[in-house]
Amino acid sequence: MRSLLVLSGGHPYEAGPFDKLLHSLGDWEVTHLIHPEDGEADAADAIAAADGLLFYDMAGYTFADGTVTMRPPSPAFREAITARFAAGKGAVAMHHSLAGWAEWPEWHDWLGGQFHYQLGPHGPDSGYRHDIAYTARIVANHPVTRGLPASFPVTDELYLCPIDESAFTPLIRAEGFAFTRDNFYSAAQAVAGAMFSNDGWDHPPGSNCIAWESRTCPGPLIYLQFGDGPATYANATVRQMLAQALDYTSGGTA
């Protein structure tokens, strides 16, 4: 049986439905570690040994009293991920993992984008919007998208944030929803206590690409923006896509 290491934590999610998703993905022996309690400390050795690796974490943050502080990963954790990719082994990153490890630039260079909770040299803080009904359209013939319908409905959270399309091969785009400032809320304002607000906030239009394969990572790295909650976990097409992404990045169809 193949081994699957799942890293979660740093962002709330519904554990029961997520566990059902994990156990719908095929013949995997699942090890699930959660930040910050044990995910980083225990993961280094497991990262090297696992056949499949799934990031569903948003690590490296502390939210308190309306502010956010950030830290980089430990050297051991960073070195384990780097060595895995250098050895040609891959990973899948889902949803809010696009925000994780804000102070590890190489991770986001590999990933091809970054969700920001604060303004900075990169520009403004990023935008979020829950429960968006949109059409996901396949734009590449790829092992991750093989056998999926050409388009399918999804209701999920979307992000407005810096995405570097030159760094990856697009797999799926979101249609029927504009990635513009008026359609999103400010992450920094949410941290400060003003959820679902974009008063005084501005952000340039963003990419509608929501699934891709990195061109810059030494190992196969797939990002899937799908995955905010139970409705997406239970979506049969999303489950098939995630299963195929894990198979691809673990060497099954690479």
Q: Interior CA angle at 60 toward 6 and 70, to 5°?
A: 170
CATH architecture assigned to 2-249: 3-Layer(aba) Sandwich (3.40)
pLDDT tens-digit series, residues 123-156: 999 999 999 999 999 999 999 999 999 999 999 9
- How does 182-211 read in b/e, with b if 16+ C-beta sit within 10 Å? ebbbbbbbbbeeeeeebeebebeebbbbbb
The residue type of 156 is D
Task: Give, as one character, the DSSP assignment of residue 148.
Answer: -
pLDDT tens-digit series, residues 96-109: 999 999 999 999 99
Do 160 and 113 touch, CB atoms closer than 8 A? no
The predicted model scores a pTM of: 0.97
pLDDT of 40 reads 75
pLDDT of 246 reads 98
Residue the block writes with tokens 């388009």: 151
pLDDT tens-digit series, residues 53-96: 999 999 999 999 999 999 999 999 999 999 999 999 999 999 99
Query: Is residue 254 over pLDDT 50?
Result: no
Query: Is residue 252 over pLDDT 60?
Result: no
pLDDT tens-digit series, residues 9-47: 999 999 999 999 999 999 999 999 998 766 677 788 899
Q: From residue 104, give the alpha-carbon distance in Å to each of 101, 110, 118, 160, 250.
A: 5, 11, 15, 20, 24
- Axis crossing angle, helix 39-49 with helix 75-86, rounded to the nearest 10: 20
C-beta neighbour count of 73 within 10 angstroms: 21
